Amino acid sequence: MSPEKAIAQALRMAEEGADIVDVGGESTRPGARPVSAQEEMDRVLPVVEALHARIPQPVSIDTSKPEVMRAAVAAGAGFINDVQALRTDGALAAATELNVPVCLMHMRGEPRTMQDKPEYADVVGEVRVFLKERLDACMNAGIPASRIVVDPGFGFGKTLEHNIELLRGLKKLQGLGAAVLVGLSRKSMIGKALGLPVEQRLHASVALAVMAVQQGARIVRVHDVGPTVEAVRMWEAVYPWGRLG
Ligand code: 9MG
């Protein structure tokens, strides 16, 4: 996607009510080709800079590379979204030093191989143990829990059944002491459950976002911001105490 298109899309999301706008330069889809740090920076830095200048919402940088984290925060990013949960060499030190909130996501394996027969004895328990371990590593490095968000990583090394079990058990991640973020929007689990192509997953994505909020998610990562904001606001109107609990 060109920087102009990415900027226009992000501005639309901000306008429709997004609280954070996430910018990434390397696809995390199964089988995706890895890109160099330079290529990633060339893609994301103009977008981060333009958004930082034009919207009040924090711009999130979706990266696992410490050099991209540093350059993006220098360009105005105020949040790090790392699908590798700061396990890349140097990433934990960079995030600690940069002093911005971080999202730690669970992923089994790496994007190229993660969907090769993922197996768990207890997916919710294993994801919880992983996130607790990464949370502890961050806190030991000096990042306060108030700046950490955890994410079970729907679709990252998980089958449809694992994703469903995780959503049903999402409340068990609340006790970790960090806000929970989930990304379910347009994911292949919808395609598998309902047989829908990616461009027809809006309604199921909105339904899943509401279910996730009901199950304790504080942040939902979505593509279709307007419809999701409306649906979540409606849920909050019915359960005003839900967000407080
Ligand atoms: C970059 N990206 C794609 N899907 C994601 C998800 O579910 N969570 C997070 N944190 N990032 C994601």
Spell out the per-residue pLDDT of the chain, length 245, in tens: 899 999 999 999 999 999 999 999 998 887 778 899 999 999 999 999 999 999 999 999 999 999 999 999 999 999 999 999 999 999 999 999 999 999 999 998 777 776 778 889 999 999 999 999 999 999 999 999 999 999 999 999 999 999 999 999 999 999 999 999 999 999 999 999 999 999 999 999 999 999 999 999 999 999 999 999 999 999 999 998 876 55
Residue 30 falls within a domain, yes or no?
yes
Distance of CA 120 to the CA centre of its chain: 22
Residue 68 falls within a domain, yes or no?
yes
Instruction: Pick the residue whose CA is nearest to atom 6 on ligand 1.
Output: 183
CA–centroid distance, 224 to ligand 1, in Å, is 15
Domain range for 24: 1-73
- Contact between 15 and 70 under an 8 Å Cβ cutoff? The reply is no
Residue 153 falls within a domain, yes or no?
no
Question: What pLDDT is stored for residue 207 in this prediction?
Answer: 98
Question: What pLDDT is stored for residue 116 in this prediction?
Answer: 76
Which amino acid, residue 210? V
How many structural domains compose the chain?
Answer: 1
CA distance 187 to 216: 20
Residue 218 falls within a domain, yes or no?
no
φ, ψ dihedrals at 141, nearest 5°: -80, -10
Q: Which of 7, 112, 4, 25 is nearest to 68 (CA)?
A: 25
Parallel/antiparallel/unpaired status of strands 21-24 and 219-221: unpaired
Residue 237 falls within a domain, yes or no?
no
Distance of CA 146 to the CA centre of its chain: 17
Minimum-distance ligand 1 atom for the alpha carbon of 81? 10
Residue 5 falls within a domain, yes or no?
yes
In angstroms, what CA-CA distances link 180 with 106, 150, 174?
12, 5, 7
Please classify residue 202 by burial: count the beta carbons closer than 10 Å to its beta carbon, then call 0-12 exposed, 13-18 middle and 19+ buried.
middle
> CB 121: neighbour CB atoms within 10 A?
6
Q: Which residues pair with 150 in a beta bridge?
A: 104, 180
Question: What pLDDT is stored for residue 48 in this prediction?
Answer: 98
Instruction: Pick the residue whose CA is nearest to atom 8 on ligand 1.
Output: 183
Distance of CA 72 to the CA centre of its chain: 17
Q: Which of 81, 84, 218, 220 to mutate to test the pocket of ligand 1 (most atoms within 8 A of CB)?
A: 81
Helix (H/G/I), strand (E/B), else coil: 16? coil
Give the binding-site residues of ligand 1, using a 6 Å CB cut-off: 24, 28, 62, 81, 83, 103, 105, 151, 153-154, 181, 183, 221
